[in-house]
Structure 1
Amino acid sequence: MKSFYAVLRCVALSALLVAMTACTKDEKPKNFNPTPPPQTANEEINMFVDAYLQAYYLWNEEYQTLTLNYDQSYDNFLTNTLMSMKTNTFDKKMRNGYWQLYSYIQKLSSAGYNSVSSRGVGHGISKEMYYGFGFMKFVATEYQAEDGMAYALVVEGVYPDTPAAEAGIHRGTTILKVNGQSLTRSNIQNYANTLIYPTNNKTIELTLNDENSEPVQITSKAIYENPVLCSKVIEQGGKKIGYLAYSGFEAAYDDDVLSAFESFKAAGVNDMILDLRMNGGGHVITAKMISTCIGGNACQGQVFQYYRYNDARMETPEATATQTNMTYDSSKKLFYEKFAYDEAYFGVDLKPYALDLPRVYVIVSNNTASSSEAVIGSLKGVGVDVILIGSTTNGKNVGMEPTSFTTSTGQFYLCPITFQTYNAMGDSVDPNGIAPNYPVDDWGSNGYSDFGEAADPCIAQALTLITGEAPASLSRKAVCGLNLRMDQSINLPNACGPKGMLMLPREMPLNK
């Protein structure tokens, strides 16, 4: 999501206060209580957050009745306030054993640099480079060593063309030591943080797969976090099958995605495996682009998604249509947008990339959320047979209209839930998640296989369904000889793509 920051529109707090004080009584939101000018840095931040939530939060009717404490840290203000509500059940959910919010706020850093504009797609969202090794995510594991239980990090994903990838590290690689130090339950989180968020030009030594193997050294550098992790054509059983592993709907990389579909089209693929198991969401426009390329003719003239905003915005459809660039359907009392098949997608005609597939095989997990689920739902809505392989998805049927703002202490990124989505048939994603047609554990016999390998249990299942025969080769590139066991109680950092179903930022005046 870091590349997304480049296009966020900054809103100065001083302008906000002018807008708030300029409102007439009839123009203010219901139960809007004016507040005095901020006196502290916390108040300065939280007053902006409050005004934005009053205007745009999907459950703003209850929100506007709350008594607020502005003198908290900005993250506590958002969490404590929204957690205290009762109606926001699609935002405040029990996940992984504890209550969590989809809405979030964070302070932006200036780590990104060297933006590169898209080549063909003309939405203006640019790629940015960041220092890193290229690691996306790990899973913590334990195993029996000679002197007792020991821990290891198993790589879940690596960005292409990065130091880790160039060193031959990939999904399934096992890290046993960092700089000669064995991993333990007490240090494994710190090492995972160092590997995903290193300082500039940091060199580390890793012992991989075997405690007696020769260590490898890698040095962090400025990298592009390209979400196109693997794109290939698999030929088996007389079929040509397009495989795309995609970690985030980041519009800055739309050209890279279209290049993958161009190669699928040129190869004459008959079927497609879309691997979204590490994809937590991202830009809605990119979800629409990918869905259009898969469905092709089935998307012609059809609704991609319907949208519901808070009651106040739904009561003023003309203003909301202008604000969101959506069309209002008065019969359904919902806003909508169509697939990008009939009109150019930001200057690009998608018809030459469209595969016109009657079905698609999608690999999913609990990490598959938001825009990933929108692709699944939108294709189902126009009659494409979507076959899910893996485990139940996250169940996020709501999305965000992000904004950024600047205060005396820095720039902040606010991403609250502001809309719910439905497909062309009027179905919304089940908040409990979408169950797979074929439940498959992708851990395999003793770890992960790399993206695109037939040895991966989920890919093997898809290939069997497509061709009617099991893959001929089930060998893995790297098998750790240790008997690894996942320890899911250890929470490790996750750098794989944006989170949420994100609309492009728009100028949203806060005076009502």
Structure 2
Amino acid sequence: MKVLLVWRPALLLAVSATVFLTSCKKTEEVSVAPSNVSSTTAATGAVTDTEVNDWILQNMQTYYFWNDKIPANPNKSLSPDQFFTSLLNTYNATSNADGDRFSWIQASAETLKASLSGQSKTTGMQYKLYYRDNTKTTVIASVLYVLPDSPAARAGIKRGDVISKVNGQTLTGTNYSELLSGSGSDTYTYGFATVAANGSVTDTDQTKQVTAIVFQEDPVFLDTTYTVNGKTIGYVVYNQFIPGVYKSDGTTDKTYDLKLDNIFGKFRQKGVNELVLDLRYNRGGYVSSAVNLASSIGKNIDASKVFYSQKWNPTAAAAYAAKYGANWNIQNFVTKSTNIGANLSRVFVLTTNSTASASELIINGLRPFMTVTTIGTTTVGKNVGSITISDNTGRIKWGIQPITFKSANAQGFTEYGSGFTPSVEVKEPTIAMKPFGDLSEPMLSEAVFQITGVRAARRAASVEIDRPFIGSSLDEKAGGGNMYVNDTPLGRIH
């Protein structure tokens, strides 16, 4: 799917499906079809909304974390997306702060699975949108990052660029969504602007044309090492927890997990004794990849130590306990030859309000074993996870991603629903951002300072002025970008 900028709640995309569960070690289809939907024989005729809604309700009653909050007599005459929403324990900051902010439904289960594995139709860039000034008339897009080898990268677009026009039209508060979503076209001609030392924005004549394609994201964006004041610092920019490349049969390989293993193997060989993990735009992903990463970082950990545990609803918990035994909800670390924990006493994690879910699981899961210092701004606060549910017969095309569990670390700490407040607050610039890995980039610079006591590079002069924030294209990644997908063996009931 292309990057859309129709701003909406992070819960809802619009989908529905039967039961497909992912798990840390492999994925598996599960037969929990509604009683009036055959899971073994091919049905004839079009699937009705009522049939889909029966299927949604059956699975939500079984797996949904707040299944005791589902209405007794939901309205099955609604469209599937509306029906799914009607079942949710809706979040309210005042009256229901522990409610559901993250479950979603999507009209294509196959698109859902692909997007969770980093594959989507995209230009390959992500950005934040701001009004140019307090008049709230014209809009600019500040490019956060560009995926290597993507159409945007090949066109020469880079982090820190400022887009002010699309297809010759100036972005405004009334047209930016339509222009940036393409209005049915996958080709965009972007016009750019420059930013003066006083923060003022000026349009230029520069344009670049980009066509969106179906693209597989490599989440391991950058890795490098620095030697500063006697410290050997490893630095990794990691944008999504996905094991590997999404394949046509709906599975993924281990390409990206293995890439991380190789990086930490190099860190180990180089004697890295400080680590900066850049998760500023990482909205989450698969538990298996979180376990893999944490197991290369944790100090004094092995396969006997608890990384995190899961709490499910009583219905699902009883079924899992009967099938898998008393420790069914415990996920331990794994033993890895690439672990650098013996050389570390702490880890620094760069965070923003786009850091969520499996990224927060890393922070919470490592804290019982080492000091985790967060630098940046407060994280999202997603201490819950989900499973992917789809119809293994293929008759129902919808896919759902309901919240099914809450996580806790080895010390039992689970209450981070308001996010992790940074140990050191550093706000990322709205525009004119430095490249990843540049030692004058504010968040990395602060991490190096905290490690070494010296500024590795002088900060550039600020060009910041107050710009009203609109939203981010990151919000249009799968599930509003807040992913924490249970792909462990805990998600299997037959």
Q: Decide whether the 8 Å contact of 2:91 with 2:97 is kept in 1.
A: no
Corresponding position of 1:486: 467
Q: Does 1:57 align with 2:64?
A: yes
User: Aligned to 1:248, which of 232, 240, 247?
Assistant: 240
C-alpha separation between the residues in 1 aligned to 2:311 and 2:206? Answer: 56
Identify if the C-alpha distance between structure 1 residues 212 and 275 changes in structure 2 by more than 3 Å, giving closer, same or farther. same
Q: Does 1:423 align with 2:409?
A: yes
| Unmatched runs of 5 consecutive residues or more in structure 2 | 3-19, 40-44, 195-201, 245-255
Corresponding position of 1:137: 127
C-alpha separation between the residues in 2 aligned to 1:62 and 1:411? Answer: 26
Identify if the C-alpha distance between structure 1 residues 495 and 134 changes in structure 2 by more than 3 Å, giving closer, same or farther. farther
- Cα displacement (A) at 1:40: 6.8
SS at match of 1:494: helix
C-alpha separation between the residues in 2 aligned to 1:152 and 1:509? Answer: 48
SS at match of 2:203: coil
User: Aligned to 1:48, which of 47, 55, 67?
Assistant: 55
Corresponding position of 2:387: 401
Q: Decide whether the 8 Å contact of 2:167 with 2:190 is kept in 1.
A: yes
Q: Does 1:375 align with 2:382?
A: no
Q: Decide whether the 8 Å contact of 2:301 with 2:333 is kept in 1.
A: no
Q: Decide whether the 8 Å contact of 2:133 with 2:468 is kept in 1.
A: no
Paired residue total: 447
Corresponding position of 2:199: none
Identify if the C-alpha distance between structure 1 residues 409 and 418 changes in structure 2 by more than 3 Å, giving closer, same or farther. same
1:260-314 CA deviation, whole Å, 9 max, x = no partner? 3233223322211111121111111111111111115334521111111112333
C-alpha separation between the residues in 2 aligned to 1:376 and 1:358? Answer: 14
Counterpart residue type for residue 335 of structure 1: N
Identify if the C-alpha distance between structure 1 residues 207 and 260 changes in structure 2 by more than 3 Å, giving closer, same or farther. same
1:387-410 CA deviation, whole Å, 9 max, x = no partner? 011111111211112211278875
Identify if the C-alpha distance between structure 1 residues 493 and 401 changes in structure 2 by more than 3 Å, giving closer, same or farther. closer
Q: Decide whether the 8 Å contact of 1:133 with 1:220 is kept in 2.
A: yes
SS at match of 2:374: strand
Corresponding position of 1:158: 146
Percent identity, please. Answer: 27
1:346-376 CA deviation, whole Å, 9 max, x = no partner? xxxx213545322100011222221111111
Q: State the structure with bigger RCO (CA 8 A, min sep 6), 1 or 2.
A: 2
C-alpha separation between the residues in 2 aligned to 1:153 and 1:102? Answer: 26
Corresponding position of 2:443: 458
User: Aligned to 2:338, which of 314, 333, 352?
Assistant: 352
Identify if the C-alpha distance between structure 1 residues 62 and 410 changes in structure 2 by more than 3 Å, giving closer, same or farther. closer
SS at match of 1:352: coil
SS at match of 2:365: helix
Q: TM-score, normalised by structure 1?
A: 0.76
User: Aligned to 2:334, which of 309, 332, 340?
Assistant: 340
Q: TM-score, normalised by structure 2?
A: 0.79
- Cα displacement (A) at 1:456: 2.3
- Cα displacement (A) at 1:109: 6.9
Corresponding position of 2:227: 235
Identify if the C-alpha distance between structure 1 residues 79 and 8 changes in structure 2 by more than 3 Å, giving closer, same or farther. farther
Counterpart residue type for residue 81 of structure 2: D
C-alpha separation between the residues in 1 aligned to 2:151 and 2:230? Answer: 37
The alignment's C-alpha RMSD in Å is 3.9
Q: Does 1:79 align with 2:85?
A: yes
- Cα displacement (A) at 1:8: 6.7
Q: Decide whether the 8 Å contact of 1:153 with 1:175 is kept in 2.
A: yes
1:159-197 CA deviation, whole Å, 9 max, x = no partner? 222122233323221112222221111111223323xx9
C-alpha separation between the residues in 2 aligned to 1:473 and 1:432? Answer: 34
C-alpha separation between the residues in 1 aligned to 2:316 and 2:257? Answer: 31
C-alpha separation between the residues in 1 aligned to 2:234 and 2:378? Answer: 23
C-alpha separation between the residues in 1 aligned to 2:323 and 2:172? Answer: 53
